[in-house]
Amino acid sequence: MSVPAKGPVLARVPEGDDRVRQVCADCGFVNYVNPRIIAASVPVWQGRYLLARRAINPRKGFWTFPAGFLEVGETVEAGAVREAWEEARVRIATDGLLGIYNIAAIGQVYMVYRARMLSEDHAAGPESIDVGLFAWDDIPWAELAFPSVRWALGHHREVEGRTNFAPFTEPAEIHWSR
């Protein structure tokens, strides 16, 4: 692992690169800032979707599926399973990668799995105010935390009952950039 620079940091294009980076003027250390991976799942129990009301910002009080930053040394699938437990105290089995949603403007890539709950048991974890199972028509659409939640729920519904499908991406009209 690289050790961060201790000297003055300059914004410049390092040799062999094509974009401005933060570079230590003394040692040449380059601080590469890369997108963060979000591991997530859309858990379902008997046709109802599990959503958690966020207890933290951003979007505190709004509903989302279990999701969070991938940890070092963790597979994306294991991260999705962990996040389901941490946020909704639910055990899941993933059933294929549902979507890869690029949110370039904030440097995040959401990797969302389709999942089935292993039991109906669920409860709010430390990052959730509440957790609930919702029939499609009862999903609190106006209170969803992020566009990616809406996209993944719609994509999940689109492939319901199918076992062979390619992962979805963000809608064509949405290509976030700086």
What tokens were used for 126?
């430390």
Structure tokens given for 133: 């199972």
- Regarding the domain with residue range 36-158, which homologous superfamily does it belong to in the CATH classification? Nucleoside Triphosphate Pyrophosphohydrolase (3.90.79.10)
Q: Please check whether residue 65 is in contact with residue 50, taking contact to mean a CB–CB distance below 8 angstroms.
A: yes
What Å distances lie between residue 47 and 3, 5, 33, 81, 162, CA to CA? 49, 52, 40, 19, 14
pLDDT tens for the chain, residues 1 to 178: 455 656 788 899 988 889 899 999 888 899 888 889 999 999 999 999 999 999 999 999 999 999 999 999 999 999 999 999 999 999 999 999 999 999 988 899 999 999 999 999 999 999 999 999 999 999 999 999 999 999 999 999 999 999 999 999 998 765 444 3
